[in-house]
Amino acid sequence: MKNELSREQLVGRLAEVSHRTFMRHRIEGGQDPASLSSEVHRHDRERAEDIVQELERLGIWPAPL
């Protein structure tokens, strides 16, 4: 199976998911959604980078041919 995303695109997508999860937890905790930035933050990208590095270490990313 061919990877359709570049490594950077994968990191970006995972960072977006991380940020959405963060926002959902804040909203569920009672924070006003209007007070939250929808912009992906540095720490979201750091988490995503950590995940991709672990996928690489496990041999899952890039997908084996």
Give a yes or no: residue 50 inside a domain.
Answer: yes
The confidence score (pLDDT) of residue 2 equals 58
The confidence score (pLDDT) of residue 4 equals 84
Give a yes or no: residue 16 inside a domain.
Answer: yes
SS3 string of the chain?
A: CCCCCCHHHHHHHHHHHHHHHHHHHHHHCCCCHHHCCCCCCHHHHHHHHHHHHHHHHCCCCCCCC
14-64 pLDDT, tens digit each: 999 999 999 999 999 999 999 999 999 999 999 999 999 999 999 999 977
Range of the domain at 39: 7-57
> How many domains does the chain fold into?
1
pLDDT tops 80 at residue 7: yes
Give a yes or no: residue 18 inside a domain.
Answer: yes
Give a yes or no: residue 63 inside a domain.
Answer: no
3 confidence band (pLDDT: 50, 70, 90): low
